[in-house]
Copies of this chain bind each other. A is one copy, B any other.
Amino acid sequence: MTDSMHPAAERLIEQMGLQWESEGRPRIAGRLFALMLLEDRDFTLGELAHTLQASRGSMSTNTRLLESQGVIERVAKSGDRRIYYRLTSDPYRAMIESHLKRMERTKDVVAQARKELAIETKKKHTRLAEIERFHKFAITTMNTFLTEHLKRAT
């Protein structure tokens, strides 16, 4: 960002950061994501830190976060000790999948409660069954979405 960068690019990066933040994810991770989306190439950690004006420590943490979600990956290059980072071939898929996981977790919480409340009033039981049904349907839909998305990507 210190170096000349198109104002629109900078804006995208900052806005993406804010967007991620508003969704409860680290701001820097969002900026990282936007940067790598724009510049479709490999970055070293130091380069990322310099470009985004943030500490190497933070870069280390956030690249690890994005890597653990399958959004970016590390690349080694022979004759170069540095680690390179780049977007995976389908970062969106990774993001949807982590969403799926959270939804499944919620579904499980509800399912557990429903099982334990089986002896309670029929009403409560039905209520919980409805939520479960909703979650199951949502999860199925997201899976279908992923499949379709993959088809389109080719």
A120 contacts across to B, CB distance below 8 A: 6
A40 contacts across to B, CB distance below 8 A: 123-124, 127
Question: From DSSP, what is the main secondary structure of chain A's interface residues?
Answer: helix
A109 contacts across to B, CB distance below 8 A: 12, 15-16, 19
> How many chain-A residues does the 8 Å CB contact rule pick out?
44
State whether B12 touches A124 (Cβ < 8 A): no
Contact surface of A with B, Cβ cutoff 8 Å = 6-9, 11-12, 15-16, 19, 22-25, 37-40, 92, 96, 102, 105-106, 109-110, 112-113, 116-117, 120, 123-124, 127-128, 131, 133-134, 137-138, 141, 144-145, 148-149, 152
Query: 13 A-B pairs, CB-CB below 8 angstroms?
Result: A9-B117, A12-B109, A16-B106, A19-B105, A19-B109, A37-B128, A37-B131, A38-B124, A137-B152, A138-B145, A141-B141, A141-B144, A141-B148
